[in-house]
Amino acid sequence: MEIPINRQKPLTMHIDLNSCFATVHQQAFIHLRGKPLVIAAYATPNGCILSPSIEAKKLGIKTGMRVKDAWQIDNQIIVRTPDTALVRDVHIKFKKIFSNYSPKIIPKSIDEAILDFKEMQGFLKKELPEIGQEIKNRMRKEIGEWISCSVGIGTNRFLAKTAASLKKPDGLEVINYQNLKDVYKKLKLVDLYGINSRFATRLNIAGITTPLQFFEAPLHVLKKQVFKSIVGYYWFLRLKGYEVDDYETERKSYGQEYSLGKKTNNINELSKILMKLCEKMGRRLRNSGNTAQGIHVGIMYSDYSFWHQGKLFSENMSSTQELFKAAKIIFQLQPQPKIVAKLAVSCYRLTSGNTSQLSLFNDRKNKINQISNALDQINDRFGEFTITPAIMMQMNDLVVDRIAFGNVKELNLDL
């Protein structure tokens, strides 16, 4: 099957804030500007680097490195921890700017968003590169002069993202049917979003070693030889500029995890952390109007071994008390209690709260749900963790606020 390159006008824009956490920190703290800075989960030698500044990236420091590794490259690297309120505020401000240009904005993560202009074709008064430049200027003017972003424009999300990554920082690139092949000529397979080293190896085995060869590969090779599924067909279309990633994903679970600063096997300490994770997860679950039937607990130990287990329960759960009780049951199933380095809990098998049945004979459960809702309202009004379960007393900020990589669906924005 032969399909030509998509020759339609590129109407998808991908915007990526450059070195988001670090840049935002440099915006707020003027004396950090122009210096190699890393934002790490912890400002300790073993802390994981979440975001190196543009200056640090030039020294070869990358996301995921340990702080001590960065210090080995340059002992003058400045280390700071994330200011989550600050980053969320910038995200909200940049989304507000985007909403002036397109009704269809898809936030991909805290620092990335897609603006879809397809439905506005015919109404657009400016060309997309002009709009991209205007957004860049407005971000500098309305958010902060240190804030820069890369803008990519393409006929589909994949090409728009690829275009945004062509020139960093502060780029504005367009990929269309005229320059598509030239762009592929300059890239490596792993530069393509969605192609990791494993996929690259699979492609290599099929004799595909460059993005251009990938682009020119026949459908049957991709579908039957490389990916051995419909995924091959999607890549066949995606590389030619057709949209295949424009679908809504449904949320199937809510989860929280925490890497312990101080690793422990103390059951009381771990119970407190588990409770706080259940409270945070429960708040998100209840806010979504769902209940959950399944609970999953995952534990990474200090010796890097991993244990996890999930279990379905007979009743739908939504209150923190119920979630914690279920998580504790699973937690106690560990075959061999060891020193815990990371604790994760998630709930699944979600049901919409409106459709879950009220218990006819179990009035206690109905009361617990009502109490839970009342506590949520109090915490909404007076601040998170104003009222907490007694087990969480003296916890302070044992589980610190974090911004997840990826999905930001629950970041409620008043635009």
Partner 1 sequence: MLQKINEQIAVIARFFPSHKVFPVKIYWRNQEYRINRLAYYHQYHQGKTIQHIFHVTDGNLDFRLRLNSDDLSWTLEEVDDGNTD
27/302 with CB nearer partner 1: 27
Task: Give the pairing type, strands 37-40 and 78-80.
Answer: parallel
Applying CB under 8 A, among 3, 7, 28, 405 the residue interacting with partner 1 is: 28
Structure token digits, residue 204: 């290599």
5/86 with CB nearer partner 1: 86
32/277 with CB nearer partner 1: 32
| Candidate segments 23-31, 131-139, 240-248, 274-282, binder of partner 1 by CB under 8 A | 23-31
* Residues 139-178, mask of contacts with partner 1 (x by CB under 8 A): -----x----------------------------------
- Residue 392 near residue 320, CB atoms below 8 Å: no
Backbone angles phi, psi at 159, to 5 degrees: -70, -35
Q: Show Cβ contacts of residue 58 under 8 Å, excluding neighbours closer than 6 positions.
A: 36
- Residue 58 CA: distances (Å) to CA of 48, 99, 122, 149, 245: 18, 33, 42, 17, 32
Applying CB under 8 A, among 35, 95, 118, 365 the residue interacting with partner 1 is: 35
Applying CB under 8 A, among 8, 27, 165, 388 the residue interacting with partner 1 is: 27
85/358 with CB nearer partner 1: 85
93/342 with CB nearer partner 1: 93
| Candidate segments 27-35, 49-57, 148-156, 187-195, binder of partner 1 by CB under 8 A | 27-35
Q: Can you spell out the DSSP letters for 237-299? A: HHTTT------PPPP-EEEEEEEEEEEE--HHHHHHHHHHHHHHHHHHHHHTTEEEEEEEEEE
- Minimum distance between the CB of residue 71 and partner 1, rounded to whole angstroms? 9
Within residues 344-403, the interface with partner 1 by CB under 8 A covers: 379-384, 386
Q: Alpha-carbon distance 157 to 238, whole Å?
A: 9
Within the chain, how many helices (H) and strands (E) appear?
14, 12
Contact call for residue 41 and partner 1 (CB under 8 A): no
| Candidate segments 74-82, 122-130, 329-337, 359-367, binder of partner 1 by CB under 8 A | 74-82
- Minimum distance between the CB of residue 83 and partner 1, rounded to whole angstroms? 8
Contact call for residue 257 and partner 1 (CB under 8 A): no
Q: Alpha-carbon distance 120 to 102, whole Å?
A: 8
| Candidate segments 80-88, 107-115, 225-233, 238-246, binder of partner 1 by CB under 8 A | 80-88
- Minimum distance between the CB of residue 256 and partner 1, rounded to whole angstroms? 20
Q: Which of 54, 330, 313, 285 is nearest to 169 (CA)?
A: 54
Structure token digits, residue 338: 């060891």
229/287 with CB nearer partner 1: 287
Applying CB under 8 A, among 42, 59, 89, 328 the residue interacting with partner 1 is: 89
Structure token digits, residue 248: 């809504």
Contacts with partner 1 by CB under 8 A: the residue count is 26
| Residue 323 buriedness (CB in 10 A; 0-12 / 13-18 / 19+) | buried
Residue 71's identity, in one-letter code, is: W
Contact call for residue 261 and partner 1 (CB under 8 A): no
Q: Alpha-carbon distance 88 to 85, whole Å?
A: 5
- Minimum distance between the CB of residue 27 and partner 1, rounded to whole angstroms? 5
Q: Alpha-carbon distance 115 to 133, whole Å?
A: 14
Site of interaction with partner 1 (CB under 8 A): 27-32, 35, 43, 75-80, 85-86, 88-89, 144, 379-384, 386
